[in-house]
Chains A and B, each alone.
Chain A
Amino acid sequence: MISRYAGIAPARDLILLRKLGEKLQGKTLLHINSTRAGGGVAEILHRMLPILKEVGIETRWEVLEGDERFFDITKKLHNTLQGDAVTIDEDMWQYHFEVNRKNAERLDLEADAVLIHDPQPVPLIAFKKGGTWIWRCHIDLSAPCRDVCSRIATYCQKYDASVFSVAKFAQAMGTEEFIIPPSIDPLAEKNRELSDGELQEVRDRFGLDKNRPILLQVSRFDRFKDPVGVIKAYRAVKKYNDCILVLAGSPATDDPEGAIVLQEVRDYAADDPDIRILLLPPFSDMDINALQRLATIILQKSVREGFGLTVSEAMWKGKAVIGGATGGIPLQILHGVTGFLVHSVDGAAFRIRQLLNDPEMAAKIGTDAKEYVRQNFLITRHTRDYLSAWYCLENSGKDVIEL
């Protein structure tokens, strides 16, 4: 498994994975989250577990079980931690704890290290039997609802450490806090190299002209992703620069607001034949991969974003990416070096025009962007960092550790 990353991931990640594996040989690691399918956490765990096992860590992954009420509460928790004003009353907190108590009876919580993902299973710490417990928070806590955050912090303080994706997502929880960004897997269907034939098939299926530049944004139809802003930018560019705009996303059948936003986007696009709104079924990973590779410039013009891993996915295809200066996007895009950060529709239009008119600059940025992702945002670095954090906790108090 690890050898498949040789020549793709930086050698240091592979060396260090093996060395840390030797140090932690035979120890047990338990991941607990709330879903085995769907969402970024499950996607990463599916890809990470075989790597951990190969380096000699006995790794298990357990999933929290809960009913509709529980997941309704945890969805609200998630939203309040990201800043929405929703009340979580005492009954809801009690139910949250109670479901975790029942899960604690069912699950084997014994392991040398336990990694608890996100707020759903955070109360499991009350049932700790031993080992090093780490709370892995994947969400943006930079401007949370204070009451809810304080309550979560009472659980966090019992952990040995917490892990956040970006320093600005962290809160002073009173424990050690590691900063570990998420990652993409270069071997996954969404990111693997594609043949010319595969690219041609996708180009033909979506009827994309080979001779015209393609602007692409891949995202849910969500106002925070600003799809209407992308169309505005495209229109401003179109005055002097011929191009096609592709907005690709999944139909939001379970999200009434998603359907409303999609309609807004369709209305705004009107009958412009050069705007393609592509509704892709869930798990259209190969199609997204191909669209990114066929695109000339990729946008992620979010006005609010979590980490925004779609940016790294696009950069991995060697493309110049224009991203909103929000969430984790500035961590991936070094302005003017690995892409452009923008703060407005005008900014997006200006950068698109610059890149369309200077293909050499676009190519240089694309090359640097891919290398930046290779150095910083691949799953091998992510796995290495989890093991490093665990090993740091086993050597607590040391600023320098020599392996």
Chain B
Amino acid sequence: MEKISEPFEFKECIGILKATGRKAASLRELRDILAVVRAGSIYHHTYQYFMRGRFLEYTNDFAQWAGEGLGERALSEELSNIDPYEFRDIEEVRKKLLDVIDGYLGHSPAPREAMAGAEFYFNETVTIIYPAGIRAENLAEFLIAIRFIDINAIYYHFYDARVRLGTNDFSSWFDRMINKPELAAAVSAIDPFMHDLEWIRRYIAGAVEVEVQRDMEMTGGGG
């Protein structure tokens, strides 16, 4: 297969967790802390929710706690439908979260407090990014790499990239470097809130495999 001028350089990232020292036992407390907590903490509980690989019933920590900790399922549903990637910055996400919670507090009976030990703990992370030591010069090499790369690389290139670039790194490379706009569009179309990282890996590998097979058929065996 033809070599590409700019190879895909796989990177990975981890988050080192830090406590902010703030916790909420009730929805009102959650709201009040949410209004003032460092932006990094909101980033951790929304965008970085997907770094854990497997998400639970809802799509961010606030929604998960509202459902699991307080039993407020309707609020969980509303919070789960917030797409943090729609907003320009974290302050806008903060405002949206506050609007939803304020609306809920305004028209619903006061929710119960969380059980002792099940309070919401506001955390934040320092993100450490490092090269995985693997690069793909062409789509066939990419296919092997995506199958075996550490799952955190999928997070970094699929989710973290949305904050950096507004799209995912895979689609960006497929589109710009190997002229595969359809493949790029297929990966961009994955609903980032509905699948875990392993599913995303399998989906991308499957779509790339189809392209590699097609290329080989077109060129009579690749080369």
Q: Which of B12, B116, B126, B133 contacts A398 (CB 8 A)?
A: B126
Is the pair B126, A401 in contact by a Cβ cutoff of 8 Å? yes
Report the minimum CB–CB distance from A375 to chain B (whole Å): 7
Contacts of A10 in B (CB 8 A): 150
Number of B interface residues, CB 8 Å? 31
Chain B interface, >50% SS class: strand
- Of A84-92, A166-174, A241-249, which binds chain B? A166-174
Interface size on A, as a range, is 35 or more
Say whether B117 contacts A399, CB under 8 Å. no
Q: A10-B150, A167-B19, A177-B18 are in contact. Are A399 and B121 (CB under 8 A)?
A: no
Which of A11-19, A110-118, A124-132, A357-365 lies at the interface?
A: A11-19
**Which listed residue (A12, A173, A388) contacts B16, Cβ 8 A?**
A388
CA distance A264 to B222 in the complex (A): 74
A167 and B121 contact, Cβ closer than 8 Å, known pairs A16-B14, A179-B19: yes
The answer to whether B110 has its CB under 8 Å from any CB of chain A is no
User: C-beta contact mask, B1-41 vs A, less than 8 Å → 1, else 0?
Assistant: 00000000000101011110111000000000000000010
User: Considering the chains assembled together, what is the distance between the CA atoms of A10 and B54 in angstroms?
Assistant: 16
Q: B123 and A179: CB pair below 8 A?
A: yes
A3-45: CB near B (< 8 Å → 1, else 0) gives: 0000000111001100100000000000000000000000000
Q: Decide yes or no whether A402 CB sits under 8 A from chain B.
A: yes
Q: Would you call A367 an interface residue if the criterion is a C-beta within 8 Å of the partner chain's C-beta atoms?
A: no
Assembly CA distance A178 to B12 (angstroms): 21
Does residue B199 face the partner (Cβ distance < 8 Å to A)? no
Contact of B119 among A168, A337, A385, A401 (CB under 8 A): A168
Residues of A within 8 A of B80 (CB): none
Proximity bits, B26-67, A CB within 8 Å = 1, else 0: 000000000000001000000000000110100000000000
A401 to B125 Cα, complex, angstroms: 11
List 20 additional contacts besides A164-B19, A172-B21; criterion CB under 8 Å. A10-B150, A15-B12, A15-B132, A16-B128, A167-B121, A168-B117, A178-B18, A179-B19, A326-B117, A334-B54, A375-B53, A388-B14, A392-B16, A399-B40, A400-B127, A401-B127, A401-B129, A402-B129, A403-B129, A403-B130
- Listed in ascending order, the chain B residues whose CB lies under 8 Å from chain A are 12, 14, 16-19, 21-23, 40, 53-54, 56, 116-117, 119, 121, 123-133, 150-152
